Each structure stands twice: as structure tokens, then as C-alpha cells.
């Protein structure tokens, strides 16, 4: 029996609309308009702590909060997967050879933005597209989907699973998601700043 190959774009359609596939920055905008960066990071940390402590979700007795966080994170990962291709990010890109100019620019930007990345490297802050590419070197998009689906079911389950979650994997994925959130926020803020300057 011959197996049918499924394209990655078909898989993306499961969570993204056609408009979101054509313009992945819409996902970043939705994420950033939903809540501030510190609140997103706090929710992610709470989710991680549930997994590390084998406790069940009880924040505000509303499991839909966690489900929404899960859905937004999956869509962010899919947007990052689309934006990782060179040239798709369309981010600001001054001459990197002028290091002093770059440092001055980033310092000024840090003062102007309400929330600024704390876990991204200088290179990732300078060009968040680097981070979007790095995210998929250790784990594929399908791996993230599987892992986060398992995380959600574990966090919402009233019973402790017999299958132990690997703490190292939880930490690695958690740190990757922290960086994803910060890079998404940074791209959104820079796009807004560019629009303000143009108007």
C-alpha cells in the first residue's frame, strides 16, 4: 500500500487560517494584543511548574485559560516556523558591521519599549529571525505540537500520570518558549514603531 505524503502547509492549516499562513505576523499581533509580555511569561511559568510538581491546574478554577495559552503557543510556533525562512521576517536590519551603532540603537530601543527581552541573546534581539530558526533545530514543529499537547493533558488531568515527564525536556522546551514569546513581542513592537514613524 502506497502512503500519501502530507505537506507541512497542510499540517499548518490545522491551526492557522489561510490569511495567517500568508501573513504570520498577524499571529504575533494577536498574541501581543491578548496580554502583556510579563503576563504571558507568568502563565507559561505556571504551566511549567504544574508539570514539574505533578500538581493539577487550579488557577482561577478556569481550565480554559490554560487551553487558550496552549492554542496561542501552538499558533506562535507555527508563525515562527513560517517566519524562520530568510527574508520572511522583514525586520529592521541596519549595517551589522557598525557595532557601536548597533549597541546604541538597542540601548535606545530598550528605553523606549515598555517590555524588553531578558532571555534573548544580543544577536537574537538584533535579529529575532535567528531565534525563529534556532527553535526548530532541536525539535521539529510536529515535536512541539506533540509535547505541548501532552503538557496540556497532564496539567489538566486530576490524576498523576504513570509516565514520568523528563525534567530536562520540560526545561528546554520552556526556555525555548520563553524566547519565542520575547522574540514575538519584539517583532510586534518594532512593527508598531515602524508604522508610527511612517504615519
Distance (Å, rounded) from C-alpha 139 to C-alpha 173?
9
188, three cell numbers: 510586534
- Number of Cβ within 10 Å of residue 55's Cβ equals 11
pLDDT score for 9: 57
Cβ atoms 127, 91 nearer than 8 A: yes
Quick: pLDDT tens for 41-90: 999 998 888 787 766 655 555 677 888 899 999 999 999 999 987 545 54
Which element (helix H / strand E) includes 159?
none
Q: If we measure between CA atoms, which residue out of 77, 87, 84 comes closest to residue 14? A: 77
The predicted model scores a pTM of 0.82
Q: If we measure between CA atoms, which residue out of 137, 136, 117 comes closest to residue 127? A: 117
Distance (Å, rounded) from C-alpha 112 to C-alpha 186?
12
- Number of Cβ within 10 Å of residue 162's Cβ equals 5
Cβ atoms 76, 31 nearer than 8 A: yes
H-type alpha helices, the chain? 8-12, 18-22, 25-34, 37-53, 63-83, 99-112, 122-126, 128-138, 141-156, 167-198
Quick: pLDDT tens for 105-132: 777 877 778 888 888 888 888 888 899 9
Amino acid at each position: 500500500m502506497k502512503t500519501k505524503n502530507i505537506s507541512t502547509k497542510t499540517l499548518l492549516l490545522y491551526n492557522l487560517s489561510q490569511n495567517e499562513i500568508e501573513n504570520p505576523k498577524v499571529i504575533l499581533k494577536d498574541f501581543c494584543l491578548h496580554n502583556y509580555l510579563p503576563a504571558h511569561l507568568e502563565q507559561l511559568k505556571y504551566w511549567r511548574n504544574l508539570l514539574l510538581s505533578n500538581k493539577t491546574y487550579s488557577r482561577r478554577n478556569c481550565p480554559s485559560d490554560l487551553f487558550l495559552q496552549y492554542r496561542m503557543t501552538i499558533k506562535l510556533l507555527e508563525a515562527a516556523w513560517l517566519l524562520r525562512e530568510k527574508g520572511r521576517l522583514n525586520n529592521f536590519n541596519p549595517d551589522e558591521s557598525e557595532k557601536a551603532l548597533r549597541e546604541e540603537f538597542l540601548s535606545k530601543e530598550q528605553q523606549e519599549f515598555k517590555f524588553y527581552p531578558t532571555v534573548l541573546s544580543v544577536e537574537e534581539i538584533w535579529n529575532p529571525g535567528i531565534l525563529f530558526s534556532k527553535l526548530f533545530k532541536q525539535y521539529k514543529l510536529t515535536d512541539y505540537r506533540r509535547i505541548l499537547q501532552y503538557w496540556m493533558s497532564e496539567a489538566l488531568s486530576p490524576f498523576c500520570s504513570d509516565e514520568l515527564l523528563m525534567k530536562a525536556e520540560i526545561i528546554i522546551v520552556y526556555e525555548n518558549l520563553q524566547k519565542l514569546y520575547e522574540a514575538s513581542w519584539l517583532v510586534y513592537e518594532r512593527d508598531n514603531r515602524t508604522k508610527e514613524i511612517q504615519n
